Amino acid sequence: MRSLIRLDRDLRVDIVRGFALWAIFVNHTPGNVMGAVTPRNYTLSDATEAFVLLAGYAAGLAYGIVMDRQGWFFAASRVMGRVFTLYVAHIFLLVVFTAQVGFSAERLDAAAYLDELHLDPFATDPYRALLEALMLRYQPSFLNILPLYIVVLAMFAVAMPLMRRAWLMLGLSAALWLAARLFDLSLPSWRGEDWFFNPLAWQLLFFIGCALGYRPPAGRPIAVPWRRWAGGLCWALLAAGAVMTVLIYFHWDFAEARLPAFAPWLAAIDKASLHPLRLATMLALTYLIAHLVRRDAAWLRSDPGLVLALLGQQALPVFCVGIALSFLGRLALEASDAWWMQAVVNLLGAAALVALAVLTAWYGGEKRAPRRPRTEGLPAGPPADRA
């Protein structure tokens, strides 16, 4: 497996992204006991923030090099090619997910699945629902991350030259984020519901990742040096965020009864438009990991670390299959919540994700490998004879 992993990259990025993909699979499986160890239970940000920030980092690093070597137009065409790949993956996942949920709802006489996962339009108005889904104006539950990624990556294709003036890019991005929050700006949707992840707000996290990932050919990349006081502020923010997370998700009755002035403020910490505290939490985690985990740390190349790195390097197929597997895991846990079923769901789910990552990494390596010249039909003998 080690030969399938690109070790010349920053493995911290791949490992965090691999962990985020595993957490997405676990968090989308209701009743999964492993959900207790995912970040959403003790921080105000979760796997989605990590996924978007690191997607921006990878885009700034990879496409920035292409732009500097071959120009903006060629780099933008590469980005739009990636957008098309993401769109096809989203439609494929939509079909698979809708089919498995609809079949399960019919066989198990559980129409609640359709309502809960916002798939009921396929039962009442299937042709319109399919058309709106193709235009990204209708997004069932669990199928809203890729549309976000598609839109912000398309925005990146246009704004890519601004990476050379990083602070201007970040200023414009922050202004758009602030306007989206203050004036409730969002992209249009089918039934009047806002996007679950508002791209006009979430683009800020993506472009922060771009600014951190871009390596200009002349000049220095953006760097945030270590300061002890800044590290202390990050730890304090994470500690306060942990308390707020517990109050919001586990002791809300206590917050409403004992903290009546504070509870409405807690309830306003939204995910759809990337609340400032969620943004700050993700940036604090990034600052601490970047400075406290050395790039050459030995554990990054340990077996568990390399497994997560492999998942992170094959993010798109692992994400899509993880979403599909999460519903199957839900069905299994609803049939039995015993410890052995929990073990089966988590072990088989993780094994399937790793096996898929191995397969896609191997296939990608085979495609990139140089082809040997064909020698069929040549007589065996010394080179001079063959000449």
Q: What is the mean pLDDT of residues 164-170?
A: 95
Is the alpha carbon torsion for 42, 44, 46, 51 positive or negative? negative
Stretch 223-236: mean pLDDT, rounded?
96
Q: Give the pLDDT band (50/70/90) at residue 219.
A: confident
Task: Give the residue among 150, 159, 203, 153 at the shortest CA–CA distance from 67.
Answer: 159
Determine the pLDDT at residue 339: 95
* pLDDT range class, residue 381, cuts 50, 70, 90: very low
Mean pLDDT score across all residues of the chain = 92
- Of all residues in the chain, the percent with pLDDT exceeding 90 is 86
Quick one: pLDDT at residue 220? 80
pLDDT at 387: 33
pLDDT band at residue 259 using 50, 70 and 90 as cut-offs: very high
Q: How far apart are the C-alpha atoms of 65 and 71, rounded to whole Å? A: 9
In the block, residue with structure tokens 């296939």: 363
pLDDT at 54 over 70: yes
Q: Please tell me the predicted confidence (pLDDT) of residue 374.
A: 54
Of 10-14, 81-85, 117-121, 189-193, the range with the lowest mean pLDDT is 189-193
C-alpha 13/C-alpha 30 separation (Å) is 28
More confident call, 383 vs 120: 120
Amino acid sitting at position 250: F
- 275-311 tens-digit pLDDT: 999 999 999 999 999 999 999 999 999 999 999 999 9
**pLDDT at residue 2 tops 90:** no
Query: What is the pLDDT confidence band of residue 378, given thresholds at 50, 70 and 90?
Result: very low
- pLDDT score for 16: 96
Which pLDDT band, with edges at 50, 70 and 90, does 382 fall under? very low
- The mean per-residue pLDDT over the stretch 124-128 comes to 93
**pLDDT reported for residue 194:** 76
Task: Give the per-residue pLDDT at 365.
Answer: 74
Distance CA 75, CA 91 (A): 25
* pLDDT for residue 370: 61
Q: What is the mean pLDDT of the segment spanning 205-227?
A: 92
| pLDDT given at position 373 | 56
The tokens describing 92, both together, are 């494929």
